[in-house]
Structure 1
């Protein structure tokens, strides 16, 4: 299992435990929505991803 899949699986499980989200609810949420929920729960400010990070993620994990 790759890093992205491992991280997504972990986050999906955490959202299920923390907020009762189904896997479908997790996958319909945007990264900002998930981050906002964790920030509200943890009281921490997450660093936003810049355009370079997003471009590298899109290249590494293409949708098609």
Structure 2
């Protein structure tokens, strides 16, 4: 299980900066619950998703403000 976690964490570490614009320190400082919540919102708003409307500019800016570590 540890090997799977390491592989998943490394994979996410490569994706998160592109998707969320986070630095490596921001990624590694986030809790799994924080990352899960944010990625859920992002994936629910992705094209073709049936679970949510796309994020508005205001919602995106609010997320950036709430989860900004800089």
TM over 0.5: yes
Deviation at 1:16, TM superposition (A): 0.7
User: How many angstroms apart in 1 are the aligned matches of 2:7 and 2:16?
Assistant: 14
Runs (5+) with no aligned partner, structure 2: 45-50, 52-70
The two structures have a TM-score, normalised by structure 2, of 0.55
- Count of matched residue positions in the alignment of Structure 1 and Structure 2: 44
Equivalent-residue separation in structure 2 for 1:5 and 1:38 (angstroms):
18
Instruction: Using structure 1 for the length normalisation, give the TM-score.
Output: 0.60
Root-mean-square deviation (CA), in Å? 1.9
The runs of at least 4 aligned residues of structure 1 exceeding 6 Å deviation read none
CA shift at 1:37, angstroms? 0.9
